[in-house]
Structure 1
Amino acid sequence: MIKTLARPFLHDRFLQLLLIVGAALLVATPFAPQQWASAIDWHTILTLAGLMMLTKGVELSGYFDVLGRRMVRRFASERQLALFLVCAAALLSTFLTNDVALFIIVPLTLTLKKLCNIPVNRLIIFEALAVNAGSLLTPIGNPQNILLWGRSGQSFAAFVWQMTPLALALVTSLLLLCWFCFPAKKLDYQAREKSPAWQPRLVWGCLAFYVVFLVALELKLELWGVLLVAAGFALLARRVLVSIDWSLLLVFMVMFIDVHMLTQLPLLQGMQNVSTLSHGGLYLLGIGLSQVISNVPGTILLLNYVPPSALLAWAVNIGGFGLLPGSLANIIALRMANNRRIWWRFHLFSIPLLVWSALVGYGLINLLFLR
């Protein structure tokens, strides 16, 4: 059991890279480990921990196998299946947040690989892009929108209205790209044996734990929610706790600390001049900053100097595309794929989409908001 738990930590190249970056930043920033705990967004960490347990429980119950079989029979071609999964990911992310949508869609996609010959890595890449595009529509679609909405004082409908043109443009662009990247090849249904056995007791247990966890999140009792879910699985199915990639949580914790140290660099101490930037300058800064420190920390940093405008909201959401750190959802999706090649292949799609999104977004925002 110890070997199983330790293996992800020992073989996690991305975690090792983050530790090396952190060690380098220690040379250029004040050594203040007492501040590191406060730099970590514990709400995000605890929420991820709970979702990882719940989705792993459903996965090990075998229910995704049952659901996957039904889906394969409904779609005749690879293109139809890809378009459905991309649309589902984008739609779920608008009201479940981008991270939660991935915890539902990616395990299902991995199950489909067992049933038919599909390009699973490409599908997961498009699902990651889809949740970034879909989640920007609503104030609850992703963490940066929650923050911007709270600071803006806008109504739910007003926020959705200002984001609708960008969401429509990006989701439409992504679906067109999906159409050309997935052929109309007939799905080859491989699994001919009888329907797989699954565990209804574990599925219903996961559903009950999910309700408990949601209530705990609503009451701001994340830690108690995680502990209750962990205790439930310890009694119901201990293998769930052993099978989880716990190193993912450490990746996010180290990333938060690295970002905290990055913001202490002298280069970023002169951010007071941000408020004097032109609209184009602020737009490019929001996108560019997201590429380096992710769009959520980028939003937090920029809100110290500029108001929560539509321009800022569009910039940091577009910044979720491009390089891997642009959005935490990118890292979650690619980590769940558990394939080394997917890390560089992701950028073959995400970087061109970033350039396209930036150009389209700037044209639209000039037309609609800056006239």
Structure 2
Amino acid sequence: MPSWAIPAAFAILLGVYALIIFELVHRALAAAIGAVIVVITLHAIGDGPDLGTIVTWIDEETLGLLIGMMIIVDILGKTGVFEWAAVQAYAMSGGSIWRLSIILCTITAVFSAFLDNVTTILLIVPVTIQIARVLGIEPIPLIIAEVMFSNIGGAATQIGDPPNIIIGAQLSPQALSSNVMLADQGITFVDFIIHVGPAVVICMAPSFWLLKKLEMDGLSGERHRNVELLKIRYGIKDKDLLKKSGAILALVIFAFFAHSSFHHPIFTVATIALGGAVLMLLVTSPHHVEEQFDAVEWTTIIFFAGLFIMIHGLEFMGLIDAIADGISDTIKQADESNRLMVAVLLLLWVSAIASAFIDNIPYTATMVPVVIELASNPELGLALGPLAWALALGACLGGNGTIIGASANVVAAGLAEEAGYDISFNRFFKTGFPIMILTVTLATAYCVVRYAIEWSNDVIPVAIIAGMMVVSVSLTPMIYGPAPSSPPDFELE
């Protein structure tokens, strides 16, 4: 490989990031441009891939999971279940805007954990805007809050946030089966919940506390409306479809949990999602599938495909090895007993800051090969798991830092703009960046306790983490606040 290959690779990466950050072209086109330039450059070097090789660079596991879940959620959305949930949230709030925001954010976080947070935002934000208009309040604080918790909640599972989808697919037992060093360290769907889930629980209540401080003007006060009228207007549209699609979704989620117990190469999260989508289409609309296929965000699929081609090409140009060597050199400077702590903290905070200012999808796709290189280096002696969890937490929580930090942020801003509400970079930054710093700090404490310190007794870190989770959960009633004191003044809309 010529000496100019690595600088050229770095320039290509920066160029594509610039196109995405400054929105000079659509990000799907930016990724496609990067992929084409990388392939042309490899041919100029004399090591160009053929079409068959390029196709193998595309991670079919990630794309299959996305396509399957997009179809499933689109069909589920037609039942009106998300609108119904929003109205129930208002009824539970008793007219308190702050209580409503907590309930909506909790719903968003839970849905984002078990669905895709981008799809959850696509479904929940329009409903939020409608309810805000009915209540006569500004929807922007609610939308920003929902985005925050879609990224926090989405971090808890492999399918909740695009960075986790990438990490889970490329670090799965199947993907690492040919890696002698890491073949027995692959991570599964259940591993994400066990290792990242507690950190998410720890972050929830403190994030609500800070959100209330930052958005006090927009999320305070009370509004009372006729709940029965809202239930009629935003109720379940198709109960029969809900029963069918809900049962299949429950089956898919159960399969996500169970698949790690099976080691057959065909039984993956992608095949589960695609199988669930096919079953749902067969049960709900066997003769009319065009609308469901149109619901797939094909620009997102193309973006991922172009991104994977570009990143694999940059890897062949030596960029990934260069980044891994730089991080490895930093880690090697630490004492052997502290190397894991240094590696975890470095990955967590670099990922958080980088993901705040660069969409966390291309960043994660760039860093997963680096994590593999670090864990494969026998001189460092680092386990794959802690590095993967640090990357996942940093990328997902860091996405809250700015409006361009995560796909869910951009989607929410676009939906708000279509409805006539502008969420500026600075407006989002004022709330998002402090919450990012708080959650990453809490994630740091979690990672240090669980992975970086060698305890004399394994019960100690478990007890500390359990205590942190209990404290966070116990703070929730206090943050939720007292019931609204003013009597309801129902108004027909």
Q: 1:85 aligns with which of 67, 92, 104?
A: 104
**What does residue range 29-48 of structure 1 map to in structure 2 within 5 Å?**
29-30=42-43, 31-32=48-49, 33-48=51-66
1:128–1:333 contact (8 Å) kept in structure 2? yes
Matched, 1:295 2:364: yes
- Are residues 215 and 36 of structure 1, via their aligned partners in 2, closer, same or farther at CA, if it must alter by over 3 Å? farther
1:128–1:329 contact (8 Å) kept in structure 2? no
1:286–1:312 contact (8 Å) kept in structure 2? no
1:53–1:241 contact (8 Å) kept in structure 2? yes
Matched, 1:254 2:306: yes
Structure 1 residue 342: Cα displacement: 5.0
Q: TM-score, normalised by structure 1?
A: 0.73
Partner of 2:89: 71
- Are residues 229 and 41 of structure 1, via their aligned partners in 2, closer, same or farther at CA, if it must alter by over 3 Å? farther
Structure 1 residue 323: Cα displacement: 5.1
What do the CA deviations read for 1:222-273 (whole angstroms, capped 9, x no partner)? 5554444445435367544445543332232223333333433433233246
SS at match of 1:116: helix
Root-mean-square deviation (Å):
4.5
Structure 1 residue 131: Cα displacement: 4.1
1:133–1:167 contact (8 Å) kept in structure 2? yes
Partner of 2:8: none
Partner of 1:177: 210
Partner of 1:130: 149
**What does residue range 199-348 of structure 1 map to in structure 2 within 5 Å?**
199-210=238-249, 218=259, 219-220=267-268, 221-222=271-272, 223-231=274-282, 232-235=284-287, 239-270=291-322, 271-272=324-325, 274-276=327-329, 277=331, 278=334, 279-280=341-342, 283-285=345-347, 287-288=349-350, 291=355, 293-295=362-364, 298-306=367-375, 307-310=383-386, 313-322=389-398, 330-332=406-408, 334-335=410-411, 338-339=414-415, 344=425, 346-348=428-430
Query: Matched residue pairs, number?
Result: 357
- Are residues 111 and 44 of structure 1, via their aligned partners in 2, closer, same or farther at CA, if it must alter by over 3 Å? same
Q: 1:114 aligns with which of 120, 125, 130?
A: 130
2:320–2:369 contact (8 Å) kept in structure 1? no
SS at match of 1:235: coil
Structure 1 residue 212: Cα displacement: 6.6
2:118–2:407 contact (8 Å) kept in structure 1? no
What do the CA deviations read for 1:196-238 (whole angstroms, capped 9, x no partner)? 3722233234235535756887544355544444454353675
CA distance in 2: counterparts of 1:294 and 1:190, whole angstroms: 46
Question: What is the percentage of aligned positions where both structures have the same residue?
Answer: 16
Structure 1 residue 122: Cα displacement: 4.5
What do the CA deviations read for 1:280-318 (whole angstroms, capped 9, x no partner)? 366324543563633365234312322225365234412
Q: TM-score, normalised by structure 2?
A: 0.57
Query: What amino acid sits opposite 1:175 in the alignment?
Result: F
2:172–2:186 contact (8 Å) kept in structure 1? yes
Q: Between Structure 1 and Structure 2, whose CA radius of gyration is higher?
A: 2
Unaligned runs of 5+ in 1: 1-11
SS at match of 1:72: helix
- Are residues 85 and 329 of structure 1, via their aligned partners in 2, closer, same or farther at CA, if it must alter by over 3 Å? farther
Partner of 1:19: 32
- Are residues 124 and 251 of structure 1, via their aligned partners in 2, closer, same or farther at CA, if it must alter by over 3 Å? farther
Query: What amino acid sits opposite 1:112 in the alignment?
Result: T
CA distance in 2: counterparts of 1:204 and 1:302, whole angstroms: 42
Structure 1 residue 176: Cα displacement: 1.8
Q: Mean alpha-carbon deviation: is it higher for 211-220 or for 47-56?
A: 211-220
CA distance in 1: counterparts of 2:121 and 2:315, whole angstroms: 34
SS at match of 1:186: coil
- Are residues 170 and 120 of structure 1, via their aligned partners in 2, closer, same or farther at CA, if it must alter by over 3 Å? same
Partner of 2:338: none
1:68–1:111 contact (8 Å) kept in structure 2? yes
What do the CA deviations read for 1:27-80 (whole angstroms, capped 9, x no partner)? 654553433322222222222222222222233333433333333222222221
SS at match of 1:185: coil
Structure 1 residue 175: Cα displacement: 1.4
- Are residues 173 and 17 of structure 1, via their aligned partners in 2, closer, same or farther at CA, if it must alter by over 3 Å? farther
1:170–1:357 contact (8 Å) kept in structure 2? yes
What do the CA deviations read for 1:83-140 (whole angstroms, capped 9, x no partner)? 122233334555x2xx445544651342232233355554444334324434555788
CA distance in 1: counterparts of 2:153 and 2:277, whole angstroms: 27
Partner of 1:54: 72
- Are residues 205 and 297 of structure 1, via their aligned partners in 2, closer, same or farther at CA, if it must alter by over 3 Å? farther
Q: 2:232 aligns with which of 195, 202, 207?
A: 195
2:147–2:412 contact (8 Å) kept in structure 1? no
CA distance in 1: counterparts of 2:285 and 2:423, whole angstroms: 31
1:29–1:261 contact (8 Å) kept in structure 2? yes
1:136–1:145 contact (8 Å) kept in structure 2? no
CA distance in 2: counterparts of 1:106 and 1:139, whole angstroms: 19
Q: Mean alpha-carbon deviation: is it higher for 161-170 or for 33-42?
A: 161-170
SS at match of 2:374: coil
- Are residues 325 and 107 of structure 1, via their aligned partners in 2, closer, same or farther at CA, if it must alter by over 3 Å? same
CA distance in 2: counterparts of 1:63 and 1:42, whole angstroms: 30
1:323–1:351 contact (8 Å) kept in structure 2? no
- Are residues 115 and 359 of structure 1, via their aligned partners in 2, closer, same or farther at CA, if it must alter by over 3 Å? closer
Q: Mean alpha-carbon deviation: is it higher for 317-326 or for 147-156?
A: 147-156
1:323–1:347 contact (8 Å) kept in structure 2? no
CA distance in 1: counterparts of 2:194 and 2:298, whole angstroms: 38
Unaligned runs of 5+ in 2: 1-24, 174-183, 260-266, 335-340, 376-382, 455-493
